[in-house]
Amino acid sequence: MGGIEFLKGHGTQNDFVLLPDPDGRLELTEARVAALCDRQRGLGADGVLRVVRSAALGSEAEGSAGDWFMDYRNADGSIAEMCGNGVRVFVRYLVDTGLVAERDFVIGTRAGDRPVRMHADGSVTVQMGPATITGTSVTVVAGKPFSGVAVNVGNPHLVSVVEDDVDELDLRDQPDFDADVFPEGVNLEFINLLGEDALKMRVHERGVGETRSCGTGTVAAVAAALHLAGTDTGEATVDIPGGRVVVEVRRGGSTLTGPAEIVARGELDEAWWAGLA
């Protein structure tokens, strides 16, 4: 067929288009990414994962110890630093295709290197780096303000504890936030505390909208919950609309463990691709 290879995968129903591009030859424009992620005129996804060798990226991947770099783009085409669910799907692809033989290795991202482990059951553990509490702010959903804890997990988050069931929130529209605090936008998490080691979450992602899951968001949510409880160390399960993950937060680091699946593969029409440049 001679088209452009793609795969489709998801981690707890946070879904992605993967574009194998080991030599870094694809021109991944905002228009192309947005079209790929559009659920009416493209394949449909929450984001795009370009699979590229670190050596092919030059200065962008300089200093990375990983052979492979996850070039992640949001659904609107914007460049993003990191995606926890995306890393798991990225790892599943590399192992399933034999591009990586080891079960423990390192993935390069714009937020830094991420050590990963592929488990026999198909789940993946990602070393997510530190979850840093950076302050507080407020978000407004349908006219109702929610105070939140600001957390940086390589990308910005604002986590708000909600007394009512988070399922009752209307997240179809972009919630308001303080652009002075988050000049590059922010991922917004809304959580119910279900106990000392469990919580429920919904998320409105920067550049995407509400998604079924957000890996960095689950880490931010657990870090914020621990902070509000007066500690910075602990482990919790996080239930999101797309499933369940396990997050461990400790001083100087955090881990995210959850499933990852590859569900389809095919080829993009080259004429369609060229017309989006």
3-state secondary structure of 172: coil
**Long-range Cβ pairs for the range 27-32 (8 Å, 24+):** 27/277, 28/71, 28/73, 29/77, 29/276, 29/277, 30/76, 30/77, 30/78, 31/77, 31/276, 31/277, 32/77, 32/273, 32/276, 32/277
CA 149 to CA 187: how far, in whole Å? Answer: 12
Assess whether 214 carries a catalytic annotation.
Answer: yes
Q: Identity (one letter) of the amino acid at 218?
A: T
Residue 37 falls in the annotated catalytic set: no
The 3-state secondary structure of 246-266 reads EEEEECCEEEEEECCEEEEEE
| Marked catalytic residue, from 18, 35, 80, 83 | 83
Annotated binding site: 14, 74, 84-85, 155, 187, 205-206, 215-216
Q: Which residue in 126, 186, 214, 247 is the catalytic one? A: 214
Contacts of 51 (CB under 8 A, 6+ apart): 18, 19, 20, 21, 22, 68, 70, 90, 93, 94
Rg from Cα positions in the chain: 18
Q: Which amino acid is at 175?
A: P
Q: Binding site for substrate: what residues are annotated?
A: 14, 74, 84-85, 155, 187, 205-206, 215-216
Alpha-helix runs per DSSP H in 25-140: 30-37, 84-96
Residues catalogued as catalytic: 83, 214
